[in-house]
Amino acid sequence: MRQIVDRGSLVLIGAPHLPNLAALVSAGLRAEQILRIDAPTPAQRLWAAEQVLRCQELGALLAWLPQARSEQLRRLQLASTSTQALVFAFRPEQARHESSPAPLRLGLRVAPEDNALSVELLKRRGPHIDHPVTLTASLVQLHFPMFQGS
C-alpha cells in the first residue's frame, strides 16, 4: 500500500463489490485517492482502463475484465509499460487456460474449511512452482480487508 500512497490514486474498474473505505484508509490511503469506475460493458471497462493508464498520478489499477480477449489484454499490457503503477486484471477461473501477455498470473481460491486463501502461480518468470502458497485467514484479513459485500 505504501507504493500506492506514494504514487497516487487507487482506481477500481468494474469492481464486483463496494470497496471497504475504512480498511483502505487504515492501510494508509486517503479517501480522495480512491476512485471506483462502474463501467457497465466490457468495451467501456477496457476503454476506461486504457485512459487510466495514461494518468500520471496513478498508484494502482485494479480492473475486473471477465470477457477480455488475449489481444485486448495485450493492448492493456502495452499501455501499462508507460506507467510505474501496479496493474491487476481480474479474470474468471475459466480464463486460466487462455493465453495472456501478463508476466505474472495468479490463481486465487478461497478454502473456507481452512479459513485460507490459496495462491497458485500460473505463470511467472523463472522456474515453475507446482504447489500453491496458502495464506491463513488471519493473515488475509490483516492485509487484504479491502472489499465488503455489496
Q: Report residue 103's pLDDT band, with 50, 70 and 90 as the boundaries.
A: confident
Report the alpha-carbon distance of residue 71 to residue 99 in Å, rounded. 9
Q: Which three cell numbers stand for residue 49?
A: 482502463
User: Amino acid identity, residue 87?
Assistant: V
* Nearest alpha carbon to residue 27 among 5, 60, 57: 5
Whether the Cβ atoms of residue 92 and residue 45 lie closer than 8 Å to each other: no
Q: What Rg value do the Cα atoms of the chain yield, rounded?
A: 16
State pLDDT tens for residues 14-50.
Answer: 999 998 888 888 888 888 999 999 999 999 999 999 9
What is the arithmetic mean of pLDDT over 57-62? 93
pTM of the model: 0.77
At residue 136, the pLDDT reads 79
Q: How far is CA 3 from CA 9, 90, 135, in A?
A: 10, 20, 22
At residue 76, the pLDDT reads 92
Query: What are the extents of the domains in the chain?
Result: 2-143
State pLDDT tens for residues 73-87.
Answer: 999 999 999 898 989
Whether the Cβ atoms of residue 122 and residue 106 lie closer than 8 Å to each other: yes
Identify the weakest region by mean pLDDT among 37-41, 113-117, 119-123, 141-145. 141-145
* Nearest alpha carbon to residue 145 among 9, 34, 8, 25: 25
Q: How many CB atoms lie within 10 A of CB 119?
A: 15
CATH topology of domain 2-143: Rossmann fold (3.40.50)
User: Amino acid identity, residue 136?
Assistant: T
